[in-house]
Chains A and B, each alone.
Chain A
């Protein structure tokens, strides 16, 4: 099983972003090295929807540059599910751009936010451990 290592601070920032954007879906990118997240880059959801997201391409470019300037790369993407579980939807799987990325879901369906991470390769979803640094 894969793993995503990430600090509690970064997890909190993803949850905060998801709550800020509620009831719309929030999205952003993870910067880091392989399995270790070092930064999160909140992005605009161009779809401005409670059901889908389209990560703003300019925000993606800026995140890519910021990660590179910090000596890292983009290693994944996060987004919120406001009314469903923290599990990739068919849309998430169909549009997953990079099999090497971590796909982090922040679900706001329950009383407390749930954060889980997955790998998506060739249509196959594999959950990975989220380990706090």
Chain B
């Protein structure tokens, strides 16, 4: 009975579906794309319509670029069916394109055109573009210096932290001696060492490397240790009855079992090492994005500051993406890991 009435309901509903105007269907599919296009056209117009209140050289190019993006958004989403996965990806992100276009329009109008926001502190989009085109060599040098410093310190911190963590988790004797030191020194923010580090180390670069390694090492140590310590005894029993020697128990049982914890430590270490990196570059090292920020502030070059901030955020986010990709590869056996 109920099946019959259900199919009946469907049958009477079907014509209504097919009578849905094609236009509405099309609007649902591509409407957001059209909106995105309109938002970016508005941004382009906002660049070109009024005169700039200041002297910026990239206003015209930015306006043209906005029109190009508007065109891509329009044709990309309307023709998404012919563009395969790129089209699908674009359609999925179309709402973000709308928001971004609207935000840029507002920003453009509020800064470059009517100066509703006080000017040197809130530069318009075109002045940030100007930084990327005109100050590129210096910015790239800074990126390179930051990445080098961060990578060196982080890798040292990870290696030392991981080995220490495994040793404490595995050996009671090592734990006896290292644990109190860890408790005493570890919770101290690495930046507190700054004054000491900069006069005890031969160079500001080695001092910063040490500080970044310290900031990374503590969470990596603690989480590796807790990971190794929390491995169920049942795993060791199984391995021992199958003839495993102690080295096998460490390398093939303890470490793989602790790996999910280790990755939490690597993630936390990455976060705290970014903080130390920027502070170290602002105070001691004469290179890197932190230094660039400081330098830009000294010259009241606020556009340069925003430009450097954007690059920095992309780098940090990229590093975390990379870490998560490595984790997903190594921990495929886990179910339900967080998507970054």
Partners in one complex: no
Interface residues of A (CB under 8 A from B): none
Interface residues of B (CB under 8 A from A): none
